[in-house]
């Protein structure tokens, strides 16, 4: 079984990218979800098909932006078929979003997807995001939610062992803006002497630190902590 890395994969036609997909993804990520979106996950030199297969396999849900553009493309419909294959086992996977399309029109394209509860962009993207969040939290999230891969003392030996590309955050904070004294990507091993010098000069050496798989995991963790603190104060 594949590890669940993202909460949801957004399947869409490129024509709906700017108007619907980007703002919806921004709303969902700002709420703490980890979203697979081709713009953010595919880089120069990557195999497009392999990366999209990776996104499908590593996502718990598939948010499908159903529009006339969507049904006119072979590729998005193939992604939908892949999501349907996962629902055969009884797993709730597909979260349909209608965009400028009616129920009768969807029935003509795909009676199976027409029978699923959906939310429409005509209700506003904020409501769409809220409905998606509610559906995901009702089922329960399986994606790792920004958990540190290392929590312990910040030592030179530890710095040399941190994975390249990970994100280091000290547990020492500025008295001015309460931000961590160190928030840095971990680079090549031969570049880490500078990071150690920074730790010593800031007084973070030997103190508690957290290391995350990447910056996005750190952001997800920070949002989760902030959300918990708000709930605890109400």
Residue 79 lies in a domain: yes
79 counts as catalytic: yes
Among residues 106, 139, 172, the one where a domain terminates is: 139
Q: Is residue 16, in this structure, part of any structural domain at all?
A: yes
Of the two residues 177 and 155, the one the predictor is more confident about is 155
pLDDT digits (tens, 9 = 90+) for 157-203: 999 999 998 999 998 888 888 889 999 999 999 999 999 999 999 99
Tell me the CATH number at 44.
Answer: 3.40.50.10140
Query: Is the pLDDT at 40 greater than 60, yes or no?
Result: no
Q: State the average pLDDT over residues 15-27.
A: 92
So what's the pLDDT on residue 83? 73
Domain that holds residue 107: 6-139
Query: Which residue matches tokens 């997807």?
Result: 113
Indicate if 126 and 176 belong to the same structural domain: no
Q: What would the DSSP string read from start to end of 118-131?
A: -EEGGG-HHHHHHH
Summarize the confidence of residues 22-44 as an average pLDDT.
Answer: 73
Q: Classify each residue of 180-189 as buried b or exposed e, where b means 16 or more C-beta atoms within 10 Å of its C-beta.
A: bbbebebeee
Residues in the chain: 234
pLDDT digit string, tens, across residues 96-153: 999 999 999 999 888 888 888 899 999 999 999 999 999 988 888 776 656 788 889 9
If one counts the domains in the chain, the total is 2
Domain shared by 157 and 129, yes or no: no
> Which residues fall within 8 angstroms of residue 208, CB to CB, at 6 or more apart?
151, 152, 153, 154, 170, 171
pLDDT for res 2: 54
Q: Which of 15, 19, 79, 164 is catalytic?
A: 79
Q: Which residue has the higher pLDDT, 204 or 83?
A: 204
Pair 14, 126 in one domain: yes
Q: What is the pTM of this model?
A: 0.59
CA distance linking residue 169 with residue 158, whole number of Å = 13
Same domain, 134 and 155: no
Q: Is the dihedral of CA 151, 156, 160, 161 positive or negative?
A: negative
Where residue 224 falls among pLDDT bands split at 50, 70, 90? low
Give the pLDDT of residue 160: 94
* Domain end marker among 119, 139, 159: 139
157 in the same domain as 130: no
Residue 145 lies in a domain: no
Q: Are residue 126 and residue 160 in the same domain, yes or no?
A: no
Which residue, 112, 139, 166, sits at the end of a domain?
139
16 plus 81 within the same structural domain: yes
Asked if residue 42 has pLDDT above 60, the reply is no
What pLDDT does residue 46 have? 38
* Contact of 9 with 59, CB cutoff 8 Å: yes
Question: Are 127 and 207 in a shared domain?
Answer: no
The pLDDT tens digits of the residues spanning 74-91 come to: 766 677 777 777 776 666
* Residues 92 and 111 grouped into a single domain: yes
């Amino acid at each position: 079984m594949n590890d669940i890395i993202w909460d949801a994969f957004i399947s869409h036609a490129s024509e709906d990218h700017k108007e619907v997909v980007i703002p919806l993804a921004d709303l969902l990520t700002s709420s703490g979800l980890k979203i697979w979106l081709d713009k953010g996950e595919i880089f120069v030199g990557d195999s497009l098909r392999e990366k999209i297969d990776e996104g499908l396999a590593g996502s718990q849900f598939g948010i499908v932006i159903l529009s006339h553009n969507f049904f006119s493309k072979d590729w998005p419909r193939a992604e939908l078929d892949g999501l349907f294959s996962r629902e055969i086992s009884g797993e709730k996977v597909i979260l349909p979003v209608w965009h400028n399309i009616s129920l009768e029109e969807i029935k003509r394209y795909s009676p199976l997807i027409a029978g699923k509860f959906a939310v429409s962009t005509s209700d506003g993207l904020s409501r769409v995001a809220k409905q998606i969040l509610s559906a995901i939290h009702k089922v329960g999230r399986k994606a790792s939610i920004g958990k540190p891969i290392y929590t312990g003392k910040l030592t030179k030996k530890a710095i040399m062992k941190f994975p390249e590309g990970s994100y280091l955050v000290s547990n020492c904070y500025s008295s001015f803006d309460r931000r961590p004294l160190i928030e840095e990507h971990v680079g090549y091993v031969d570049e880490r002497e500078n990071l150690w010098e920074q730790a010593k000069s800031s007084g973070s050496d030997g103190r508690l630190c957290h290391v995350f798989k990447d910056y996005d995991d750190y952001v997800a963790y920070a949002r989760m902590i902030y959300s918990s603190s708000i709930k605890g104060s109400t």
